[in-house]
Chains A and B, each alone.
Chain A
Amino acid sequence: MLSYIGRSSQFAPALKGTAQAVANGLRNVVPGAVDAAAPELVQKAPLALTPASMAKRCPTGAVVAKAGLGATSQVRYAHTDIQVPDFSAYRRDDVKDTRAKAGESAPTRSAFTYMLVGGGTVTGIYSAKAVVSQFVSSMSASADVLALAKIEIKLEDIPEGKSVTFKWRGKPLFVRHRTDEEVSTEGAVDMGSLRDPEHDSVRCKEPKWLVVLGVCTHLGCVPIADAGDYGGYYCPCHGSHYDTAGRIRKGPAPLNLEIPEYSFPEDGLLIVG
């Protein structure tokens, strides 16, 4: 290593180099030294002091020389006296013997490294996935929202022929106690005349009870109960008519009123959700 302060191609002719190359016995300090005893056959080319030519003349051994304008000259043995510590406590057993060929133990060593890296990567990906999942799931429905996800309704409170509206999951829920006449009328409707063909028996688990979401399938308004040309529901926003099975019969709505998940766990009790 050479640190040569003041080295400059512009000022090189003016600078007097007082650096001394000092050998430390390890290797030749100046490579390619000229043999002064050899006869000169041709005129020597004038010495061009360029950075490249001066770099070739620089000692390559472990020595530091300093020279330049206003700088004191000095020679230092940079890093020549530092003992390299013994790292054998950290080295793998396979490579401690300097005479052994590294290639012979290479497959074992690389297998170990790959297993470690592979295992670490799998663990890292698993952990990262867990962290991301936790953050993402924190945005999902919280426990209080899920607690209101089910609704219990006492059916005896709903008189025959009436439709009652409940709030369920933030939306209106229509529960209609149908009359026998409504049941038979809806059961006799021709499927071919329906925009969204669905038989009445498919839509109502119990024929006397219609359970539908009170959200118009056109653009989401709440239809009015006991209105419209079919005795069911009428949406005032854009004029959709639904029958007493909640099926679209007239108007712009494309689909029948949505039927949520519900059950009758016991007589007189309806659970939706």
Chain B
Amino acid sequence: MTMPIRKSHPLFKILNGAVVDLPAPANISTLWNFGSLLGLCLVIQIVTGLFLAMHYTAHVDLAFSSVAHICRDVNYGWLLRTLHANGASFFFICLYMHTGRGIYYGSFLYLHAWSVGVVILLLVMATAFLGYVLPWGQMSFWGATVITNLFSAIPYIGTELVQWIWGGFAVDNATLTRFFTFHFLFPFIVAAATIIHILFIHQTGSNNPLGIVSNVDKVPFHPYFTFKDITGFIVMLAALILLTLLNPYLLGDPDNFIPANPLVTPAHIQPEWYFLFAYAILRSIPNKLGGVIALVMSILILLILPFTHAAKFRSLTFYPLNQLMFWSLVSIVFLLTWIGARPVEDPYVLTGQILTVMYFSYYIINPLTLIWWDKMLD
């Protein structure tokens, strides 16, 4: 019997090995849908972004009105803009769910895939930050000013570095044009990194909720997980369309409807919701450089997880105490998100500081508790 074309053709066999005949654990849950959902989010952002870029002008005098032109004059421009803005929010929902799944089920033990994943998270965060500057509203301008000013905390080279990033002495036209360039470029780097991420996953096969070797119970990716992923796509698209069509500016900031004014700072500068937890951590440290380091470490600390996992079992499924700690971590992140939106006043300052300590403590206390639990049951 001749081999089917999907297995013999040089191009098709790559796709076949990824989405058709790929052996997948039979027991992976809905939490395993977020990988493919992230791919869908990336496609939506690239396609809508591409069409927005046809009408957007990256110049300080024209950017704000070009976005208004898109929303008012361009055919379906309003839909492109709102899909792109809300698509970014869904991107981060999926990112955080995907990362949370990885933390809970010990997927980080796939070191290469996990490392590339953290790189992708950082790239997407950078892309979102750059993109938010482009409408050139008040929040765009001042968010860019605050975050780029963080680099001035770097000793010796800080001030020069920031002026080099700005292309001048403040956030201005040079900054806007290069931010547009990088916002356009980064998603394609994310796409390449995603392919590498998937390459590494396919070396080992997926993890599963039990955290044990699943070779005895694998099913082909198609039709089980192709159809399961399609179901996930429909659910996410429905949510995205509902939000976009019913309340498109729910997650936005009203201050961004005011054109950027370098001489007037809004009373309450805050980033979009998906950055608020990191923003709270940044503001919790009274020292400028310390705050910047804490901000960076709040993401980079994910990289130590593979090296601190000393438990007998891979996932937290069999560790009730650590499950409690995991959900505490989730609650801490939610609370930090809330704090990030509050002004820098009592009682929010102290609350934010306590929550920051609790956030970083998780990564120390969790592995210690795992070891203690194993010892206790032995």
Contact = CB atoms under 8 A, between A and B. Distances in A.
Q: Do these two chains really belong together in a complex?
A: yes
Interface of A: 3, 134-135, 137-140, 142-145
A112 B47 CA distance: 36
Interface stretch (B69-77, B282-290, B351-359): B69-77
Nearest first, the 7 closest Cβ-Cβ pairs linking A and B are A142-B73, A143-B73, A137-B75, A134-B76, A142-B74, A144-B73, A138-B76
Contacts of B69: 142, 144
Contacts of B55: 138, 142
For chain B, the bracket of interface size reads: 10 to 19
Contacts, number: 33
B76 A139 contact: no
A78 to B, nearest CB: 8
Nearest to A139: B54
Contacts of B51: 135, 138-139
A138 B79 CA distance: 10
A75 to B, nearest CB: 16
A142 B72 CA distance: 9
Contacts of A138: 51, 54-55, 74-77, 80
Interface in B56-78: 69, 72-77
A139 B50 CA distance: 11
Contacts of B80: 135, 138
B83 to A, nearest CB: 10
Contacts of A140: 75
From DSSP, what is the main secondary structure of chain A's interface residues? helix
A135 B47 contact: yes
Nearest to A135: B51
B73 A137 contact: no
A58 to B, nearest CB: 17
Interface string B27-65: 000000000000000000001000100110000000000
A145 B75 CA distance: 11
Contacts of A134: 75-76, 79
Contacts of A139: 51, 54
A142 B77 CA distance: 9
B44 to A, nearest CB: 11
27 contacts: A3-B216, A134-B75, A134-B76, A134-B79, A135-B47, A135-B51, A135-B76, A135-B80, A137-B75, A137-B76, A138-B51, A138-B54, A138-B55, A138-B74, A138-B75, A138-B76, A138-B77, A138-B80, A139-B51, A142-B69, A142-B73, A142-B77, A143-B73, A143-B74, A144-B69, A144-B73, A145-B73
A127 to B, nearest CB: 10
A150 to B, nearest CB: 16
Nearest to A78: B216
A138 B77 CA distance: 6
Contact of A143 (B47, B72, B216): B72
Nearest to B217: A79
A124 to B, nearest CB: 11
A155 to B, nearest CB: 31
Find the residue from A138, A140, A143, A145 having the highest chain B CB count within 10 A.
A138
Contacts of B73: 142-145
Nearest to A144: B73
B227 to A, nearest CB: 13
Find the residue from A134, A139, A142, A145 having the highest chain B CB count within 10 A.
A142
Nearest to B75: A137
Contacts of B79: 134
B242 to A, nearest CB: 16
Given A3-B216, A142-B77, 16 more contacts: A135-B51, A135-B80, A137-B75, A137-B76, A138-B51, A138-B76, A138-B77, A139-B51, A140-B75, A142-B55, A142-B69, A142-B74, A142-B75, A143-B74, A144-B69, A144-B73
A145 B55 CA distance: 12
Contacts of B54: 138-139
A135 B53 CA distance: 13
B357 to A, nearest CB: 48
A71 B80 CA distance: 62
A185 B256 CA distance: 64
Nearest to B52: A138
B45 to A, nearest CB: 14
Contacts of A3: 216
Nearest to B48: A135
A140 B69 CA distance: 14
B201 to A, nearest CB: 26
Find the residue from B51, B76, B216 having the highest chain A CB count within 10 A.
B76
Find the residue from A135, A137, A144, A145 having the highest chain B CB count within 10 A.
A135
A221 B79 CA distance: 39
A135 B75 CA distance: 8
A165 to B, nearest CB: 27
A16 B54 CA distance: 73
A24 to B, nearest CB: 19
B250 to A, nearest CB: 22
A138 B217 CA distance: 48
B73 to A, nearest CB: 4
